Structure 1
Amino acid sequence: MAAHSERISFFCCESCKNKKNIEEYSVYYCEQCQQCFCRECCELHDYLFSKHVKYDRGNMKKWPVSKELEAFLQMCEIHTHKQLETYCKYHSQLCCSKCDPLSHRKCKTIAINSAKIHADDVHQLSVKLRINMRKLKQLQWCCESEIQDLKSSYQRRQEIMVRTMNNKINSTLDKIARGTLKKTRKVEQIKILRLMRSTLDDVENTTINETKRTLLSLEASLVTGVETCIRHYPELKLLHELLLYSSDKDKKKLCFIVSRKCIDKIQQVESYLYENRDKLECAILKQTKQDTMEYLSKVSGLGRLVESMKANTDIEQCLSKLAGLARIVSRYLSHVFTVQGKSEHNVHLSSDSDTCCITAMCILPSGQVLVADENNYKVKLLNEQYRVVDHLVYVTLMVHRYLKDMCMITPREVAVAVNGYKTDSWKILDIGTSVVQFITVTQSKLELVQGRNLQLQHDCTGIAHHQGELFICSGRELYKYSLNGKMISKLYLDRSIDRCAVSPTGDKLYIFNLLQQKLVTLTRDGTLLATFTHPDLKTIRDVHVTPAGQVLLICGRMSPNILQIDSEGRSKLATLVIGRDVMCSQLSVCYSSTTSSIIVGMLRNNILVFRVV
């Protein structure tokens, strides 16, 4: 939608425009004067014409018809020189004459001039817009207050705690030095103690710097939240005003267009608000502070490590261990999973015509698991015991389509990446048949979302979602899309990009290059951060990020294993599962925090579940 600066030109103060040659945002319309006034000019107007009837922006249907505004609203967002003419029911998309033959030639469409929308629906949209505007303000206030709290107390408390911990270690080292260096000459004692003090300073600086980086990372997430709220709020406000403006019975076409744009924007904002309920509000800071306390408690055990050194320990060995303390501190910040058990669960149905091929999985907040069975064209819903409780058959005509990936949009809605192409005796005739299909989950029941289907003009092999934006892999490119199907940008180009994942805070994207056997870490705008290669990275199948930010990679055939990578995407932390446990046929991986398990989907009728701590 238009930004605040764009909307001023549609209903600007006519007095300011004519006399001062400036465009000022108008807040009232006078019926007798037939002019719009800003707040300042309105005071003068009321002084001169106190009996004139005025209408504020809450009564915009009483305002005059703006030809500029109507032309802008009816303009196609993709083909800006064309006007919107039809509405595609299959894709829930407004189309111009140029959109229609390109992307919707087989879809059922209706002419916008004949489209109808009920007054009750308009009222409900108005209520939803106001509710989401209020929620955005609340979230913005929460983020701003937490930023202030971080700046005033978080950093100071953490540094004090870290220094206290290091003082305890320092005291322990003094005792050791007095006990082990009695027979050492004074000059050598001073030299050794200086080396030990220097090493401790390095440990302290490393720990404090890590704390500062954590602080900056949290602050950056909160600032992004504030900026996003500031961006969404005026757009919702503008849509609310336009909905009121177009609700007059003589503006049916305009009302339908605005209503559709309201629905798309409301869905985008609601998705953003849901994600940030756990990620940006106060809960994340409480959890982070709790995690930091646990981390410092573990680090304080380093004093016991030093104390446990025997009196006759070689000084060089002692200093070598002390030099490694910084690395130990760093390791505590990234929890490494440990596998404690394994189980298998059958997901094959009697109606399946082929062996299951689980190409993608998605964990819902309820603990239920969605799996994509490519061979049987089904999306299956598993309960917390991994039993199939419902399924959907994805049916297409004359088109080969494959269920490649899926991601959660809201707690009840999932997007499924469906890659496809038309063939004729193995010849590819049309690659523009890939779609993103939306599915809802309601009380253990799956339903296709009618009219919610994004048709793409490229392949679709991987998908991830964060804050109302979809990240889609095409096999060679990584794209960013809005939830209504509008391509925002092409983020990255490489020879082979099959899957992608996004960090919980949305600041990092992870993709893998299957041909070059490497993991690539990007910023949200596609800037390269890191490239990771390793002998164990062969035939990478999937990449997954847990809610806590741990990165999991699953490989197959040539190197069948599950690896845990650090959140920066620079090094391997552990090999969690080795080949003989995965049997070389693994295709997908995900982590369930509800059951504390890593789940592996395979080209088999069973899925593997590894219980981890």
Structure 2
Amino acid sequence: MASSHMCGPCTRMDKSASAVKFCIDCEDSLCTDCVNNHKAIKATALHHLIDEVQAGKVFSIKRTCSDHPDMSLEFYCSNHESLCCRTCSVNTHRTCGKILPIDVAARGIKSSVMLNDVIEDLKGLLKTAEQLVEDRAKNKENIGKAKATTLQTIVKFKRQLIQELDELEKKLLTEVDETELKLARTAESDLSDIKIRHKAIVDISEQLEFLTKHGSESQILMLLNTIRVDISKQENALQNLIPSYECIHVNFKASKIKTTLNSLGSLELKSVPCSIAHKSSKHKQAQISQEHEEMPTKFKLKNEFKVPYSNGRIASIIVTNDNKLLLCYSGNDSKALSIWSETGDHFQDCKLAASAWGIAIIPGTNEAVVTLPSINSIQFVNITNMTQGKLMKVSDHCYGITVIKDMIVLGGMGKVYFLTMTGSLIKTFNVGSGNLHTLKTGKMEMIYCCEAVNNTLHCIDINGTIIFSYKSTEFIGAEDVALDGKENLYVTTWRSNKLHRLSSDGKLLDTLLKKEDGLNAPFAVAFNKNYTKLYISNGHKEVLIFDCA
């Protein structure tokens, strides 16, 4: 980077001119003339110029490959969520599905889930660091107060004794002073250390905020990949520091003066662990993933939100491991897939090759696969950064989809197709006669298929054997199915405005929700990961959120 006071281009031409602007894209300081030239040249006209005084805030972004130091980072691998050079893209990432130039991958980064997650991680770190600064400052203050309290106790105790105990009193007072000095030094050291860490986290936050406002998308992406390591280091450091922090209480413990006169007493130190706890997003996700095996018995409407898209409807809902909602939208290609919080806050949309219907997450990966029935295709999606992946043609208008034993299973017109992950057809089974709008898989590797046109829920195994087919006069328009921790089945019937519960062997248990509970053409249905919330797409563009107990 050029000097923060002298113009870079002029300096390289042995001229002297003071810089007034800084180009983030070129990472160069510019004088007034060079700024005008910069704006005039077509290739640099759209570069981001900032005041020279702000240039020092630009974060130093790593641009070379760690494995190949002589190679520049040019690509982004969606599969591994990592930057790579040309050599890495050919060797390490040869079989990855989507390798993009950094400029392409960085499009939309300012509104991405990745940026939101990093900002949230930084907010969490900053909050913990600020709490620790306050806690350590209070601890230091309390040590001083404890000294005063202890001295008062000693004086009161001393007044009850005869004059001959003065020497013992002096000895104990000295011990108090020495103890206070030692504790104060420790407290000062703790406070000083956490202030340094707090400043480091603030600096990272300011750099990210600055580049988010003024930097290019490429720089933001590269910065995110750079600071994630720093965030992890700071997080690990805080997790290690917190258990070592103690809040010391100094109390005076009186001696048994009638039986011993060689001491007034002693100082008793009581250590209380630091009450501040830092919970990382990874820790929260691990907690969320624990399943509740009990069958919900109560459903209370807690909240609802509308999807502000024209045309179409919410065809499918699935819940990610961190309890975010993925909505498939039928009728709008540019918003075919969107991600929302569990309370209805919108994060990001993902444009696909066509409007979407069904979606299934590939276990153990950050990828999902979506059905696009209007073009007889399925498409892979990276659900971490919401970027589209490989598009594959299929032989039918497929709607429902699930993944089981490294096989993609699709529901077509009266048929269930089993495909490899590369799209090769393995086997086909006949199931019903209408479109199978939904396929869901249980723990026992059974596949549940909703055939709305014939008001039927089918259950088959991976060999195509039909285990049961449930149908009744109130089961009108069976559209989607969700499973609880006991493998009970929750089926929406959009024509009869109901949510039914069936046992895993296809017996009707009860009807849980009806029109009077707010259901109006219920379509997609899904539980969160611990079965405490139930989501139902209601009508075309509304999602109802029920608390379960």
TM range (shorter): 0.3 to 0.5
By percentage of residues, which structure has more helix? 1
Greater C-alpha radius of gyration: 2
TM-score (structure 2 length as normaliser): 0.45
Q: What is the TM-score when the length of structure 1 is the normalising length?
A: 0.41
